[in-house]
Structure 1
Amino acid sequence: MPVEPAITALLARYGPLPPLPVDRAHVEQLREQGRALAEDLVPIEVGAVEDGALPGPAGEIPVRVYRPEGADGPVPTVVFFHGGGWVAGDLDSHDQITRRLCRDVRAVVVAVHYRRAPEHPFPAPLDDCLAAARHVAEHRDDYGGGRLAVAGDSAGANTAAVTALVFRDERRPLDAQLLAYPPTDCSGTRSHPSRTENGEGYFLTTETIEELQRVYAGGDPGALRSWRISPLLAPDFTGVAPAVIGTVQYDPLRDEGRAYAEALADAGTDVFHRTYDGLVHGFLSLFEQSPASDAATAELFAQLAERLRP
């Protein structure tokens, strides 16, 4: 299937990501481009939105808490980690996504703004996400009191996948994980054909992915082979929380996302996985401009809601 026409128009409008390398001179340009996608959107109405902070390993972690309208009794809680290649993305760039997640799933959503590379490379972003998720898990009654999930898109999906593995290892209850177009193998030790097939021309290029991974790892190739950066390399997937995974046809990361869904399913995990034709990496940010992105977002959120029912 060709790229959806609405997506083609957006690719022409926004153009490619800023030039490489991703050094400090380009970081703000990347961050501004992420914020630009969210400009001029009419915020989706939810019951309440409040900015706050949670305790973290290096000080307070900024969060934004969304509560659904008309909640009567316990509701699920979703801890959400934004995408942006561990370099860009923030609470504002993903505000419309988390509002829709709150509305569609009828859940309290705790959006986490973790420290970002290159100022704070691995493990700082992951450490913040883990600290936030643990805090919410330990104070669940303050955030809905129902079932608990982690979720994220792109780099945030990577961190959500690692968080689910850590929660399994720590024997912390976790009821679901939502992973949208996740990078799961940054090691370079396995072949994923989509990194070549979709390596350029679809906004996110393979070259950019590899540079962002290098920056996240602080330039340490060995770190990229850790399952805490490449969750597909985890030694065991048994007992991991049920997963909802969305991959897309025209994404360099498509095949490693598929491989992760297969690894979880082979280990006995309940997995819903769909590869959406005609779409590109980042479609959660495009649901108001792209009918196919809207339908894909609706299905993923509905699948998550099903797994979070009492």
Structure 2
Amino acid sequence: KAFESVFGCVTCLPGCFTMYRIISEDDVPLISNDDVFAQYSRNDIESLHEKNLYHLGEDRMLTTLLLMCFPDMSLSFVPEAKCWTIVPHTFRILLSQRRRWINSTFHNMWELLKVEGLCGVCCFSMKTVVAADMIATMVLPASFLYAVYFVYTVIVQGTAMSETLVVIYAVTIGCQMLVFLLRSRWDYLLWFFMYLIFGVPVFFFILPVYSFWNMDDLSWGQTRQVAAEKGKSPGELISDEPAESDEPPVSGEPSGPSDSDEQGESGGGALAAADPELGGGMTAGKKLGRSETAPATDDSNPDDDNVHVLTTMAAV
């Protein structure tokens, strides 16, 4: 999201981490625009493509609709904002969550490519980034298998290494390690190697293949089912265990695993406010003015006025 924010076009504003500007400073309806409501409240969803858009990725589709209706707007990420959510704590829930994310993201990319006048920076268009992301999503499993084959042929069979591939892998891994070393984040080095060993097979192969294989599975995930099995209300999106953090979520109640892009952990939020004083990550372009970040609180006290403002606007 921080990278997309450079282009002024965050392609998904997570529902639990977002505030939308209702009207612009010139009293132009934004999130309350009739065209946005008409498209977002459709009840004639029939195709598999549309079901993945509206049923599995409704927050992502809302962002796309805003870009279609207001191509001169800027959707921004606010790293100073503090948000909380309960992340998936079992592989079963993670699997169902990633299935929703990957399928809704892939289908939403087709819609983003149709947006006229999509923003860009210098000579780079956001459409180019979206197209590259779509291609990368499709070839991730193949690239993982090729990497495994490459390591096998070099280490086991003793085949001479391609200098080009060595340079590519060295730059990819070396740049990340260099950043960790320069910032003296030695703990990141350990987790980086753990991710290479355990995370890459899961996120580069298992999850994409599972998601595409179950693209016609439009269920919202295992969270509700797990809650129902334990005697809880099927409609409750809560974790089996309370959050470890002593700081309450912004909404006042723990939310379930986040439904959108990679913003499951604490910190950072995509915000847009109805009041320019409150700050926002979605700014009406033209530039209808860039809003500032919402004032940070010292203790994230749920009784603090700023927290109540965030809760109220998110509910709207």
Q: TM-score, normalised by structure 2?
A: 0.28
Q: Which structure has more RCO (C-alpha within 8 Å, separation ≥ 6)?
A: 2
Determine which structure has the larger helix proportion and give its number. 2
The structure with more radius of gyration:
2
Determine which structure has the larger strand proportion and give its number. 1
